[in-house]
Structure 1
């Protein structure tokens, strides 16, 4: 799994993804990797949904599920429910999933 982009890391449960989400955007889009000031990398995601009662989180999960070719039930928010910086778990991890993540990284 050394082919993983910087915003993803493997765990026993699956893959952990670090995201920076912009809710209430003009369009739903995955914009690629952003390097943060602290040296970490995140995947930038924009969604049209408003950050109200989990609507933006649901939109992020739907967008990523479609892009990764996995069911929405395979993704879950691990941390950052109400933050722009979110950590998601994708389970289970497969070689095809790693390939799709690399493609998202741009």
Structure 2
């Protein structure tokens, strides 16, 4: 299985995500192609799903919300997200996200 959805950047990691809004519960579904699929309980209205994604990633990765930034895909299901925290490594992020309630 490819894990190109997570790569190191200066001061953190970059994530390539496929988002499924309006799900029954939020959580990681698994890897699809070069993306990590995440379901979000929030609706894709007025940025609520983006806010939920930032909150979810900040909570799961144990970083402040302001460390999580959607850099591409604000209005689409495919998103590029950067998480800025010098303590995060690619291996750590992969382990945490793939171990957090994967369905």
TM-score normalized by structure 2? 0.82
User: Corresponding residue for 1:38?
Assistant: none
2:26 to 25, 28, 32: 28
User: Corresponding residue for 1:103?
Assistant: 96
Number of residue-to-residue matches in the alignment: 97
Please give the root-mean-square deviation of Cα atoms over the aligned residues, in Å: 1.8
Compute the displacement of 1:96 (Å). Answer: 5.8
Note closer, same or farther for the CA distance 1:103–1:14 as it changes in structure 2 (3 Å cut).
closer
User: Corresponding residue for 2:7?
Assistant: 9
User: Corresponding residue for 2:49?
Assistant: 56
Instruction: Please give the secondary structure, in 1, of the residue aligned with 2:76.
Output: coil
Compute the displacement of 1:70 (Å). Answer: 0.9
TM-score normalized by structure 1? 0.80
Q: Which runs of 5+ in 2 are unaligned?
A: none
- In the alignment, the residues of structure 1 paired with residue 72 and residue 86 of structure 2 have an alpha-carbon distance, to the nearest angstrom, of 19
- In the alignment, the residues of structure 1 paired with residue 44 and residue 23 of structure 2 have an alpha-carbon distance, to the nearest angstrom, of 11
Compute the displacement of 1:31 (Å). Answer: 1.5
Q: Indicate if the aligned counterparts of 1:68 and 1:101 stay in contact, CA closer than 8 A.
A: no
2:78 to 85, 88, 92: 85
Instruction: Please give the secondary structure, in 2, of the residue aligned with 1:53.
Output: coil
Q: Indicate if the aligned counterparts of 2:4 and 2:35 stay in contact, CA closer than 8 A.
A: yes
User: Corresponding residue for 2:36?
Assistant: 43
